[in-house]
Amino acid sequence: MAPLSRLVGALPASLLALVVVAISTVLPAGVHAQTFGIGDPNNVTSLSGTWCTGACHVVTGLQFYNPISETFTYPLSAGQSYSFTDDGFWEQALYLYSTNPSQPNCVSAQLIWQHGTYTLNSNNTLTLNPFKGDGRQQISDYCAQVSNVVQSYTQKEDMNGFEIHLDTHYGQPAYYLKLYEFDGAPKPIMWQTYNPPQMLPTEQLHQVVIGELNGA
């Protein structure tokens, strides 16, 4: 068979355009600038497991949120944790601090717990759907009149991509997960700490009574 370059050189310009189109459609998916989530798709290991930041003070499961008493346990320090099962369930535990620049004394802390089902899309993005009305948040605000109230929380999360890599954590080989938020911002890396994951039961745990907890 003649080399492609010689073949193409022999063609009139009008036909050349057709050839270029034909060649580009033959290229494997992913080579072209098609819409694709961030991160190199990889399968060094599955998403399955419990992933958490830093020293893993924040971790999904009962030690973070107790659905029977509907109470949070404050972790030692701020952090984030996500868990995934291979059969499509997820859970998150977030402990976030923020300061108000105009009132530096007014530190507020937010605890968020949610779980539900997720989809791993073919374009390397993740859609995390919460069980409606099952999530909870608690905000403690040093300057607010009403603080530390546990409220219902339901927020779908779209991850614009993810990567999993093998590295060393506290001297041990460990996988870490990097999630990219809907706007492409990377989350802090999370280390795989448990596999199988440590999670609360992967089903609706609270009765869905809209507004009940918020007193609305």
Ligand X SMILES: *[C@@H]1O[C@H](CO)[C@@H](O)[C@H](O)[C@H]1NC(C)=O
Smallest separation, CB 132 to ligand X (Å): 19
Q: Which is nearer to ligand X, 35 or 168 (CB)?
A: 35
Q: Which is nearer to ligand X, 107 or 174 (CB)?
A: 174
Q: Which is nearer to ligand X, 37 or 197 (CB)?
A: 37
- Rounded Cα gap, residues 28 and 30, in angstroms: 6
The angle subtended at Cα 45 by Cα 41 and Cα 47, nearest 5°, is 80
Smallest separation, CB 98 to ligand X (Å): 28
Q: Which is nearer to ligand X, 47 or 111 (CB)?
A: 47
Please report, as ranges, the residues that interact with ligand X according to CB under 6 A.
35, 37, 43, 45, 121, 123, 125
Smallest separation, CB 35 to ligand X (Å): 3
Smallest separation, CB 46 to ligand X (Å): 6
- Rounded Cα gap, residues 183 and 122, in angstroms: 19
- Please enumerate in sequence order all residues whose Cβ is within 8 A of that of 179, keeping only pairs 6 or more positions apart, or say none: 82, 126, 159, 161, 162, 186, 187, 190
Smallest separation, CB 34 to ligand X (Å): 8
The length of the chain in residues reads 216
Name the nearest CA neighbour of 81 among 213, 200, 216, 190: 190
Q: Which is nearer to ligand X, 80 or 125 (CB)?
A: 125
Q: Which is nearer to ligand X, 24 or 121 (CB)?
A: 121
Smallest separation, CB 162 to ligand X (Å): 12
Per-residue burial over 32-50, b if 16 or more Cβ lie within 10 Å, else e, is eeeebbbbeeeeeeebbbb
**Under 8 Å between Cβ of 130 and 115:** yes
Number of residue whose CB is nearest ligand X? 35
